[in-house]
């Protein structure tokens, strides 16, 4: 198990380097002279020089990359172009809201997706299965920016059960925190729940034909043992991948959700940075999120060992 983990983590290094290179290279996508472009048409010569120095554009790029990466590894992503506030500080300030949104949403999508998919797969071909399958096909395609306003309208405005927008930090009031995140988390969870349900259904259908499930039936195990224990644990192996992939997607979609629900997270700050051409902040965010996803993917692969003893043995 440890060897498996070590081997997988070794593969992470070149990936992380590439992610950092992509983040760094974003600046080179700027057409023409980045400093002139970023400063805008009404900038003075002084402002342009200021930006040039701020981005370190006066040095050759390998030197810049090395020092940028060196700083980044130590948690220094530079300062925002105009506000001059440390990018790292902004990211850490914003991360808790984004992480709580994603965590809650992941929990909701698993709590809906796994049981729904299990039931559909176990009762394959029944009316309920078809109903659920159709629901997940549509669910996968519902854009968050369509689901979110609809949820706001129904639960936030018409029924007035939950706050429509805004965010309360958990440190201020845990109950209000949960209430403020409920609608955004549900909006964010819908696609994931549908995806997880689809994969769970496929997994259950596949596993229930296996010989060991027949053995479990032949040994007279109760349905909950055959389904809940033997079928589900084996069917979960591919589902874990899907859940892992969801995390990346959730980080992306949370940008939209944070904007719609007015949550002060990383995503809403990123949008502001995009409007402001705040390249250092954009680079820092891409690097942080890319790193998080690479590590999450590695963790997902390693967790295979738990679900699948054969993988553990193969390492």
Partner 1 sequence: MTIADHDMSSTAVESATTESRRARFLRRFRRQGWAIGALVFLVIVAISAIFAPWVAPHDPLSQSLTDSFAGPGSEYWLGADRLGRDTLSRLIFGARYSLLAAAQAVLVATVLGVPIGVIAGLARGKIDAVASLVADAVLSIPAIVLALAIIGVLRPNLTNAMIAIGIVYAPRLFRVVRSAAISVREETYIDAARASGVGMLTIARTHVIPNVLSPLLVQISLALGFAVLAEAGISFLGLGVQPPDASWGVILGQGTVKLEEQPLLILFPGAAILLTVLAFNVLGDGLNDSLGREIRRE
Partner 2 sequence: MSSHASSAVDPVLQIEDLAVEFITEHGWLTVVDGVSFEVGRGETVGLIGESGCGKSVTAMAVLGLIEQRSGRVSRGCIRLDGRDLLALDSREMREIRGRKVAMVFQEPMTSIDPAFTVGNQMVEVLRRHLPMSRSQARQRSVELLDRVGITDPHRRIDSFPHELSGGMRQRVLIAMALSCEPDLLIADEPTTALDVTVQAQVLDLLAGLQAEMGMAVLLVTHDLGVVSETCERVIVMYAGEIVETASTDELFARPLHPYTAAMLASLPGLHPDEPLDPIPGIVPPRHALPPGCWFEPRCEHAIELCGSGHPTLVAVGGRSARCLRADDLRLPGVGS
What is the distance between the alpha carbons of residues 254 and 293, in angstroms, rounded to a whole number? 14
Which one of partner 1, partner 2, none interacts with residue 225, CB within 5 to 8 A by kind? partner 2
Is residue 197 left, alpha or beta, with left meaning phi > 0 and alpha meaning psi from -120 to 50? alpha
Which one of partner 1, partner 2, none interacts with residue 132, CB within 5 to 8 A by kind? none
Among 212, 262, 271, 272, binds partner 2 (CB under 8 A): 212
Among 285, 301, 302, 305, binds partner 1 (CB under 8 A): 285
Rank residues 135 and 169 by Cβ distance to partner 1 and give the closer one. Answer: 135
Span of 40-48, 155-163, 186-194, 227-235 interacting with partner 2 by CB under 8 A: 227-235
Q: Which of 147, 133, 20, 12 is nearest to 71 (CA)?
A: 20
Residues linked to residue 86 through DSSP beta bridges, in sequence order: 79
What is the distance between the alpha carbons of residues 233 and 314, in angstroms, rounded to a whole number? 19
175: its two tokens? 């109950």
Which one of partner 2, partner 1, none interacts with residue 230, CB within 5 to 8 A by kind? partner 2
Do residues 315 and 7 touch, judged by C-beta distance below 8 A? yes
CB of 3 to partner 1, least distance (A): 22
Q: Tell me the C-alpha to C-alpha distance, in Å, between residue 11 and each of 7, 21, 216.
A: 7, 16, 38
Residues that bind partner 1 (CB under 8 A): 14-15, 18-19, 21-22, 26-27, 29-31, 37, 137-138, 140-146, 149-150, 152-153, 157, 248-249, 251-253, 255-256, 259-260, 267, 270-271, 273-275, 277-279, 282-283, 285-286, 289-290, 293-294, 297
């Amino acid at each position: 198990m440890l060897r498996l983990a070590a081997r997988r983590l070794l593969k992470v290094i070149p990936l992380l380097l590439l992610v950092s290179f992509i983040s760094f290279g974003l600046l080179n996508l700027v057409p023409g002279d980045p400093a002139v472009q970023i400063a805008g048409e009404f900038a003075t010569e002084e402002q342009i020089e200021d930006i040039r120095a701020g981005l370190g554009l006066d040095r050759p790029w390998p030197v810049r990359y090395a020092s940028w990466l060196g700083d980044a590894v130590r948690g220094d992503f530079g300062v925002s172009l105009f506000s001059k506030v440390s990018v790292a500080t902004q990211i850490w300030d914003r991360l808790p809201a984004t992480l709580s949104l994603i965590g809650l949403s992941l929990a909701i999508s698993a709590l809906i997706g796994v049981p729904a998919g299990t039931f559909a797969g176990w009762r394959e071909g029944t009316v309920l299965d078809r109903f659920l399958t159709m629901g997940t096909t549509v669910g996968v395609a519902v854009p968050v920016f369509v689901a979110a306003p609809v949820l706001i309208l129904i639960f936030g405005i018409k029924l007035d059960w939950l706050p429509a927008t805004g965010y309360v930090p958990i440190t201020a009031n845990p109950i209000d925190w949960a209430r403020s995140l409920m609608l955004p988390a549900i909006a964010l969870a819908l696609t994931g729940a549908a995806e997880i349900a689809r994969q769970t259904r496929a997994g259950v259908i596949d596993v229930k034909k296996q010989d060991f499930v027949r053995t479990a039936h032949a040994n007279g195990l109760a349905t909950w043992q055959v389904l809940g224990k033997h079928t589900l644990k084996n069917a979960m192996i591919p589902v874990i991948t899907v859940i892992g992939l969801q995390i990346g997607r959730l980080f992306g979609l949370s940008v939209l959700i944070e904007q719609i629900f007015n949550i002060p997270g990383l995503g809403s700050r990123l949008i502001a940075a995009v409007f402001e051409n705040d390249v250092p902040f954009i680079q820092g965010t891409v690097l942080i999120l890319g790193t998080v996803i690479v590590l999450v993917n590695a963790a997902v692969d390693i967790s295979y060992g738990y679900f699948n003893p054969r993988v553990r043995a193969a390492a």
